[in-house]
Amino acid sequence: MPALDATHDPARRSHVEDANLPDCDFPIQNLPYGAFSLDGGAVRVGVAIGSRILDLTLLEAEGLLRPGDNDGAVKVFQSGVLNPFMALEQSRWTDTRRRIADLLDAGADLPSAVRALIDRALVPRAAARMHLPFYARGFTDFYASREHATNVGTMFRGADNALMPNWLHIPVGYNARASTVVVSGTDIRRPLGQLRGPEDAAPRLAPSRKLDFELELGAVVGGANPMGQPVTVAAAYDMIFGYVLLNDWSARDIQVWEYQPLGPFQAKVFGTSVSPWVVTRDALEPFRVATPPRETPLLPYLSETAPGNFDIHLEVALSPRDGGETVISRTNSRFMYYSAAQQLAHHSLCGCAMETGDLLGSGTVSGPPRDSCGSLLELTWNGRDPIEVDGGARTFLEDGDTVVLRGYCADGYRVGFGVCAGTILPAPSAAEFGGEE
């Protein structure tokens, strides 16, 4: 199990002054990784520190960072994505984090040439364009919140049959599309699909009218396992490089028609947004918490010997095109019934090879009260109970709406994720495909 070290010291301060503010998402204890560019230039790898980005591509090229090997011959920050770095041994992740923290420490006694290079490598976040920080090799979405699964099951099957018989025994999931995983700030176009209402004799082609968001936590896999070789929950925990906020946009009216018998398909694959900063597993170590108590014992391969969840405060805000921002949900990832490590271990049980860059979505994060639900489907109870936002009421998303996810841990300092945002654009013309506008 990873141990706490000097990088977690709440008294540590950075020479980037605004990183030391109490409400800063990116203090020296965080150091999340991302991919950025400046003025249309090449995509580079960096870490967020206060209002700045430390350019790791530059520091590696100059030999100040040597994450790939001790001689600096193996370069891992030159391709504009994190995959080469995430594919290294886990000890390299930890050593690199410690080295970066030492370079940014306010009390560090650094040679003047090193200090000058660091100053040159610090660029304003406000001037940077963020890119997808890793190449998403595959994407699997789970259904790991008991509250969410119970709410949805109650809506469509009744309270007595809310959870399916398998739900308390396995982390339920499905393979989604990595090709439409996009970085925060990318617009999302309303999807077309087959719709069939309860009174319709046949489906029709039209834009989704029940477009929704899903507040999720995404686990980014660094370590790999060979095909045919399952991994334990403990090994799965160590394989996870870090976490992102994830919005798995969902078309509920398309989903309800298509999901039987094989589950979600076009209702989900049109777009998935992730936050641009990958918060490392190492940074989250002080915030580990146990999964909720088990009503039904799990099979031994899913047993955790150490806490696998994290105490991450999460919120969702919605802004109409002509209105201000309204926070519509506040919840916490500690409610998740299955941890990301349990999800990954179950994924590998059959012998599935997990690869560097695989993305695991937690499924919608919902808590017990209604205002802690992570989707409009639950917040409005499938449109029955509209919610008020600045600019008008909502049951589901309208064109021009912007959804923003935020998350952070806090205990003497904040470890924040930044934002995961997306704006809804109108659907393509359905008439071009023989449908209804």
Residues 411-426 have pLDDT tens digits of 999 999 999 999 999 9
Q: In this structure, what are the phi and psi dihedrals at residue 255, rounded to the nearest 5 degrees?
A: -65, -40
Radius of gyration for the chain, computed over Cα atoms and rounded to the nearest angstrom: 22
At 72 the pLDDT is: 86
> At how many degrees (to 10) do helices 112-121 and 90-104 cross?
100
Q: Single out the residue of 371, 304, 381, 377 nearest to residue 341, CA to CA.
A: 304
pLDDT digits (tens, 9 = 90+) for 90-106: 999 999 999 999 999 99
* Mean of pLDDT values over 397-413: 97
The 3-class SS string of the chain reads CCCCCHHHCCCCCECCHHHHCCCCCCCCCCCCEEEEEECCCCCEEEEEECCEEEEHHHHHHCCCCCCCCCCCCCCCCCCCCCHHHHCCCHHHHHHHHHHHHHHHECCCCCCHHHHHHHHHHEEEHHHEEEECCCCCCCEEEECCCHHHHHHHHHHHHCHHHCCCCCCCCCCCEEECCHHHEEECCCCEECCEEEECCCCCCCCEEEECCCEECCEEEEEEECCCCCCCCCCCHHHHHHHEEEEEEEEECEEHHHHHHHCCCCCCCCCCCCCEEECCCEEEHHHHHHHEECCCCCCCCCCHHHCCCCCCEECCEEEEEEECCCCCCEEEEEEEHHHCCCCHHHHHHHHHCCCCCCCCCCEEECCCCCCCCHHHCCCHHHHCCCCCCCEEECCEEECCCCCCCEEEEEEEEECCCEEEEEEEEEEEECCCCCHHHCCCC
Q: How much is the average pLDDT of 105-129?
A: 97
Contact 226, 214 (CB under 8 A): no
Q: Per residue in 27-45, pLDDT tens?
A: 999 999 999 999 999 999 9
Query: Can you tell me the distance from the alpha carbon of 1 to that of 13, in angstroms, rounded to the nearest whole number?
Result: 26
Compute the distance between CA of residue 107 and CA of residue 261 in angstroms, rounded to an integer: 60
State yes or no: pLDDT of 1 exceeds 60: no
- Which residue, chain included where needed, has tokens 């003025």? 39
User: What value does the mean pLDDT take over residues 40-55?
Assistant: 97
CATH architecture for residues 139-432: Alpha-Beta Complex (3.90)
**Among all residues, which ones are annotated catalytic?**
148
Write down the domain spans for the chain. Answer: 6-131, 139-432
pTM for this one? 0.97
For the stretch 64-100, pLDDT in tens is 999 999 888 999 999 999 999 999 999 999 999 999 9
Among the residue ranges 54-63, 213-222, 253-262, the one predicted with the least confidence is: 253-262
Q: What pLDDT does residue 126 have?
A: 97
Reported residue count of the chain is: 437
Topology of domain 6-131 in CATH is: SH3 type barrels. (2.30.30)
Q: What is the pLDDT of residues 284-343, one digit of tens each?
A: 999 999 999 998 999 999 999 999 999 999 999 999 999 999 999 999 999 999 999 999
Strands 272-274 and 181-183, how do they pair?
parallel
pLDDT of residue 295: 87
What confidence score (pLDDT) does residue 3 get? 76
Residues 141, 176, 190: CA angle, nearest 5 degrees:
105
Integer Cα distance of 127 and 413 in angstroms = 25
Share the mean pLDDT of the chain: 96
Among 202-216, 253-267, 335-349, name the one with the lowest average pLDDT. 253-267
260 Cβ partners below 8 Å, 6+ apart? Answer: none
